[in-house]
């Protein structure tokens, strides 16, 4: 009964979405405010319907309703409750429902917090979001219905993919989707601006917090995904340049470019057409990512060719959405020309350069991700494009970005004198070079040229960002007042840039100085890595809620003192029969010690010798710490006082209007 209600809610949502797409658009055309108002009510209704459908699917998982095919395929009787709740998005159909929940959630949010923009612009944007919802609901109902029933009803489910039974997975997909789908708001407003032909500072100021919010969720999602892969895949890697990761990284890069170009559009009224194009591209890449991940084309071009229904649908949808968006762009964007001054050596000029490099980096990721697929589809054989390619292409495209950051915060809008800027940056530059040269030595590593370069770059980014704050405080007589008067958005920017610096530092040291070793260890034996002694005390069988494990007990000693007890596991999941490696990590900010059990040397004797993987990874935490700092910076920037003030002012204006 409950699943049928969910199914019914989905169909109802489709009809509401059609209304949301058509009625406000007609209202805008006829200049009828009552029809435009349908946008808000239908967006909110649609959100409630999808939320209800989502609740029904969750209920089916909680109550182990094996009559629902999707539940039976992705859960089983002994799966713990937490993982039954997250299994809702554990596979294709549920992920698409989560995607819809996010899309309608964002639309409902737009319908509530829209007091700032002209009614017709909001109505157009909501109509665009409604049209997107129509496409995705049709996709779900026609090709990927999570409520499809099973007959005969099986006795038990087939289990959630054990890879996904990890705390990191509990919040990773919702965060990622919040980000992915969040770019639809910027997209919808870009289309609305193109249709209305109006794109002013108010538009940019309104679009900024939405874009920043989507970006910060995407940042958290990617960071969590990296952390999950590190813990769960068992070989100490944290980023693999896997197509699935690239699918989320491309919108992130373009979204980052968008945040920066929006700043120029708001403050200087320039780069308008470019900003609109970026908003379209960011969402286009989100859609492309969905296509890549959801169509199965990544597993194999041939598997995709044999069962193409889903892929063809998304591809067609992608073509329609982008076709319309780019046609509109080509037709209307020439209107958005600004004839004001533009100096390259100014903040807006450097932000433009930032965009050049970010977009090139995104293009590199896109090319590397699609190239093998194209080559294979053209029957030119098979090529692999992996980390060596991406690392060698990506570094020259992103190092200039880190160098630019320092200048961008020291250079003012409009025009700057090079001599002043270089004078200002002498101190940060000196600190960066000094720190870069001494850091490897201070931390007891071999001195490598790459480490000096990476360290100097990281410190440069951090110090030059903080320097902006210092200058602002010094400019005031009263230092305390100086600090409190700094806008929250500036703190946000500084924090996000510091996050980037921390991230660069982490990546540099962990990639250059990590040590890994595959060793053969019997109970009571030990191995030494980077001065740490890992002793395998023993391996014993353990029973988990839905798996059996070989539970290792590893004691880590450093300079004669026991510093950690680690418990890596090898798990055999009951229902699916899959084997998982559960690594164990001891971490401080400066280093991770990572242990994973490989295989028993003699397969029949778990008490004998084991192949064990040991990793020493310096500064690993900084990589994720940097991501968290960037997201926090985004949070500060998105909640800046001027956005809230303006909103409060409008609410007051609106209520007085109503009173009058």
| Residue 392 is a binding residue for another protein (CB under 8 A) | yes
Exactly one of 11, 33, 153, 302 binds another protein (CB under 8 A); which one?
302
What's the rounded Cα separation, in Å, for the pair 95 and 72?
Answer: 16
Nearest alpha carbon to residue 144 among 12, 296, 1 = 296
What's the rounded Cα separation, in Å, for the pair 621 and 238?
Answer: 11
Q: Going by C-beta distance under 8 Å and a sequence separation of 6 or more, which residues neighbour residue 245?
A: 222, 225, 226, 239
Cβ-contact 595, 458 below 8 angstroms: no
Residue 572 Cβ, how far from another protein at the closest point, in Å?
Answer: 15
What's the rounded Cα separation, in Å, for the pair 123 and 432?
Answer: 50
Nearest alpha carbon to residue 56 among 104, 94, 102 = 94
Cβ-contact 451, 619 below 8 angstroms: no
Cβ-contact 198, 335 below 8 angstroms: no
Cβ-contact 637, 256 below 8 angstroms: no
Cβ-contact 104, 47 below 8 angstroms: yes
Residue 581 Cβ, how far from another protein at the closest point, in Å?
Answer: 8
| Residue 300 is a binding residue for another protein (CB under 8 A) | yes
Exactly one of 133, 393, 495, 502 binds another protein (CB under 8 A); which one?
393
User: Would you state the structure tokens that stand for residue 646, as one six-digit string?
Assistant: 């303006």
Q: Give residues 330-359 in contact with another protein (rule: CB under 8 A).
A: 339-344, 349, 352-353, 355-357, 359
Exactly one of 31, 306, 659, 660 binds another protein (CB under 8 A); which one?
306
Nearest alpha carbon to residue 614 among 506, 524, 536 = 536
Selected range binding another protein among 55-63, 315-323, 362-370, 643-651, rule: CB under 8 A? 362-370
| Residue 4 is a binding residue for another protein (CB under 8 A) | no
Q: Which single residue is written with the structure tokens 């029957």?
A: 379
105 three-class SS: helix
Q: Which single residue is written with the structure tokens 């990506």?
A: 394
Q: Which single residue is written with the structure tokens 């029949």?
A: 604
Residue 262 Cβ, how far from another protein at the closest point, in Å?
Answer: 17
Choice between 217 and 230, CB closer to another protein: 230
Exactly one of 34, 81, 197, 382 binds another protein (CB under 8 A); which one?
382
Choice between 111 and 295, CB closer to another protein: 295
What's the rounded Cα separation, in Å, for the pair 110 and 122?
Answer: 8
- Find the angle CA(409)-CA(217)-CA(136) to the nearest 5 degrees: 130
Exactly one of 112, 305, 434, 652 binds another protein (CB under 8 A); which one?
305
Residue 397 Cβ, how far from another protein at the closest point, in Å?
Answer: 6
Residue 373 Cβ, how far from another protein at the closest point, in Å?
Answer: 12
Residue 31 Cβ, how far from another protein at the closest point, in Å?
Answer: 30
Cβ-contact 214, 186 below 8 angstroms: yes
Residue 172 Cβ, how far from another protein at the closest point, in Å?
Answer: 19
Sign of CA dihedral 499, 591, 246, 183: negative
| Residue 301 is a binding residue for another protein (CB under 8 A) | yes
Selected range binding another protein among 10-18, 57-65, 125-133, 299-307, rule: CB under 8 A? 299-307
202 three-class SS: helix
Residue 506 Cβ, how far from another protein at the closest point, in Å?
Answer: 19
| Residue 373 is a binding residue for another protein (CB under 8 A) | no
What's the rounded Cα separation, in Å, for the pair 266 and 261?
Answer: 9
| Residue 389 is a binding residue for another protein (CB under 8 A) | yes
| Residue 361 is a binding residue for another protein (CB under 8 A) | yes
| Residue 404 is a binding residue for another protein (CB under 8 A) | no
Q: Give residues 190-249 in contact with another protein (rule: CB under 8 A).
A: 235, 237, 240, 242-243
Choice between 415 and 488, CB closer to another protein: 415
Residue 385 Cβ, how far from another protein at the closest point, in Å?
Answer: 6
Exactly one of 381, 524, 560, 577 binds another protein (CB under 8 A); which one?
381
Residue 357 Cβ, how far from another protein at the closest point, in Å?
Answer: 7
Exactly one of 11, 82, 201, 299 binds another protein (CB under 8 A); which one?
299
| Residue 69 is a binding residue for another protein (CB under 8 A) | no
User: Would you state the structure tokens that stand for residue 286, as one six-digit string?
Assistant: 């989100």
Selected range binding another protein among 49-57, 392-400, 550-558, 619-627, rule: CB under 8 A? 392-400
Q: Going by C-beta distance under 8 Å and a sequence separation of 6 or more, which residues neighbour residue 5?
A: 52, 56
User: Would you state the structure tokens that stand for residue 439, as one six-digit string?
Assistant: 């850091």
| Residue 49 is a binding residue for another protein (CB under 8 A) | no
Q: Rounded to a whole number, what is the distance in angstroms from the first to the last CA of the chain?
A: 50
| Residue 367 is a binding residue for another protein (CB under 8 A) | yes
Residue 550 Cβ, how far from another protein at the closest point, in Å?
Answer: 15
What's the rounded Cα separation, in Å, for the pair 619 and 616?
Answer: 10
Residues forming beta bridges with residue 569, ordered by sequence position: 551, 582
Residue 405 Cβ, how far from another protein at the closest point, in Å?
Answer: 17
| Residue 618 is a binding residue for another protein (CB under 8 A) | no
Exactly one of 43, 262, 325, 397 binds another protein (CB under 8 A); which one?
397
Exactly one of 31, 384, 560, 604 binds another protein (CB under 8 A); which one?
384
The secondary structure element, H or E, covering residue 192 is helix 167-196
Size of the site for another protein (CB under 8 A): 50
Choice between 66 and 241, CB closer to another protein: 241
Residues forming beta bridges with residue 587, ordered by sequence position: 592
| Residue 380 is a binding residue for another protein (CB under 8 A) | yes
Exactly one of 173, 598, 618, 627 binds another protein (CB under 8 A); which one?
598
Residue 243 Cβ, how far from another protein at the closest point, in Å?
Answer: 8
Describe the chain by its helix, strand, coil percentages, rounded to 5.
Answer: 65, 10, 20
What's the rounded Cα separation, in Å, for the pair 516 and 236?
Answer: 9
| Residue 568 is a binding residue for another protein (CB under 8 A) | no
Q: Going by C-beta distance under 8 Å and a sequence separation of 6 or more, which residues neighbour residue 98?
A: 54, 88, 89, 173, 174, 177
Nearest alpha carbon to residue 408 among 353, 363, 326 = 353
- Find the angle CA(453)-CA(454)-CA(460) to the nearest 5 degrees: 90
| Residue 364 is a binding residue for another protein (CB under 8 A) | yes
User: Would you state the structure tokens that stand for residue 339, as one six-digit string?
Assistant: 């004839």
| Residue 605 is a binding residue for another protein (CB under 8 A) | no
| Residue 371 is a binding residue for another protein (CB under 8 A) | yes
DSSP structural state of residue 259 = H
Residue 395 Cβ, how far from another protein at the closest point, in Å?
Answer: 11
Selected range binding another protein among 29-37, 200-208, 302-310, 527-535, rule: CB under 8 A? 302-310
Residue 611 Cβ, how far from another protein at the closest point, in Å?
Answer: 8
What is the distance of C-alpha 183 from the center of its chain? 11
Choice between 158 and 414, CB closer to another protein: 414
DSSP structural state of residue 154 = P
Choice between 49 and 539, CB closer to another protein: 539
| Residue 375 is a binding residue for another protein (CB under 8 A) | yes
Binding site for another protein (CB under 8 A): 235, 237, 240, 242-243, 299-302, 305-306, 339-344, 349, 352-353, 355-357, 359-361, 363-364, 367-368, 371, 375-377, 379-389, 392-393, 397, 598-599
């Amino acid at each position: 009964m409950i699943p049928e209600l969910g199914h019914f809610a989905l169909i109802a949502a489709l009809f509401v979405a059609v209304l949301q797409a058509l009625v406000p658009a007609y209202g805008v055309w006829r200049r009828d405010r009552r029809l435009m108002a349908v946008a808000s009510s239908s967006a909110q209704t649609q959100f409630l319907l999808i939320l209800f459908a989502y609740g029904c699917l969750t209920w089916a998982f909680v109550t182990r309703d094996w009559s629902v095919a999707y539940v039976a395929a992705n859960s089983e009787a002994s799966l713990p409750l937490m993982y039954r709740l997250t299994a809702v998005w554990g596979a294709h159909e549920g992920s698409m429902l989560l995607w819809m929940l996010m899309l309608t959630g964002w639309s409902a949010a737009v319908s509530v917090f829209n007091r700032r923009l002209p009614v017709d612009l909001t109505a157009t944007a909501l109509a665009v979001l409604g049209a997107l919802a129509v496409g995705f609901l049709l996709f779900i109902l026609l090709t990927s219905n999570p409520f499809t029933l099973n007959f005969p009803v099986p006795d038990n489910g087939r289990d959630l993919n054990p890879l996904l039974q990890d705390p990191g997975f509990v919040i990773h997909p919702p965060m990622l989707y919040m980000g992915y789908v969040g770019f639809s708001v910027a997209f919808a407003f870009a289309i609305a601006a193109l249709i209305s032909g109006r794109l002013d500072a108010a538009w940019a100021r309104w679009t900024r917090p939405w874009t920043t919010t989507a970006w910060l969720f995407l940042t958290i999602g990617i960071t969590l995904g990296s952390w999950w892969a590190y813990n769960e895949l068992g070989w100490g890697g944290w980023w693999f340049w896997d197509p699935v990761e690239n699918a989320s990284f491309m919108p992130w890069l373009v979204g980052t470019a968008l945040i920066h170009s929006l700043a120029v559009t708001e403050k200087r009224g320039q780069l308008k057409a470019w900003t609109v194009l970026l908003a379209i591209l960011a969402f286009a890449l989100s859609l492309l990512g969905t296509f890549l991940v959801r169509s199965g084309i990544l597993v194999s071009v041939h598997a995709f060719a044999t069962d193409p229904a889903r892929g063809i649908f998304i591809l067609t949808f992608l073509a329609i959405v982008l076709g319309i968006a780019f046609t509109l762009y080509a037709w209307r964007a020439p209107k958005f020309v600004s004839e004001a001054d533009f100096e390259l050596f100014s903040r807006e000029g450097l932000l433009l350069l930032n965009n050049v490099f970010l977009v090139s980096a995104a293009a590199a990721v896109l090319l590397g991700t699609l190239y093998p697929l194209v080559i294979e589809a053209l029957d030119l054989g098979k090529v692999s494009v992996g980390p060596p390619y991406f690392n060698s292409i990506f570094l020259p495209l992103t190092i200039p970005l880190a160098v630019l950051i320092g200048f961008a915060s020291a250079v003012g809008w409009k025009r700057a004198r090079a001599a002043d800027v270089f004078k200002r940056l002498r101190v940060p530059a000196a600190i960066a070079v000094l720190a870069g040269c001494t850091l490897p030595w201070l931390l007891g590593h071999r001195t490598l040229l790459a480490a000096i370069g990476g360290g100097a770059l990281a410190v440069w980014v951090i110090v030059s960002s903080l320097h902006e704050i210092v200058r602002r405080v010094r400019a005031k007589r009263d230092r305390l007042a100086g600090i409190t008067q700094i806008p929250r958005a500036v703190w946000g920017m500084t924090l996000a840039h510091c996050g980037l610096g921390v991230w660069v530092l982490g990546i540099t040291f962990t990639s250059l100085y990590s040590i890994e070793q595959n060793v053969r260890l019997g109970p009571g034996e030990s191995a030494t890595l980077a001065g740490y002694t890992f002793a395998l005390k023993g391996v014993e069988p353990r029973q988990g809620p839905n798996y059996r494990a070989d539970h290792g007990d590893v004691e880590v000693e450093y300079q004669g003192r026991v510093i950690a007890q680690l418990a890596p596991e090898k798990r055999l999941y009951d229902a699916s029969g899959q084997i998982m490696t559960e690594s164990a990590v001891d971490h401080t900010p400066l280093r991770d010690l990572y242990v994973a059990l490989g295989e028993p040397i003699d397969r029949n004797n778990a008490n004998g010798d084991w192949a064990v993987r040991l990793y020493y990874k310096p500064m690993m935490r900084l990589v994720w710490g940097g991501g968290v700092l960037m997201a926090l910076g985004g949070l500060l920037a998105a909640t800046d006082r001027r956005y809230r003030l303006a909103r409060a002012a409008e609410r007051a204006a609106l209520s007085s209007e109503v009173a009058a």
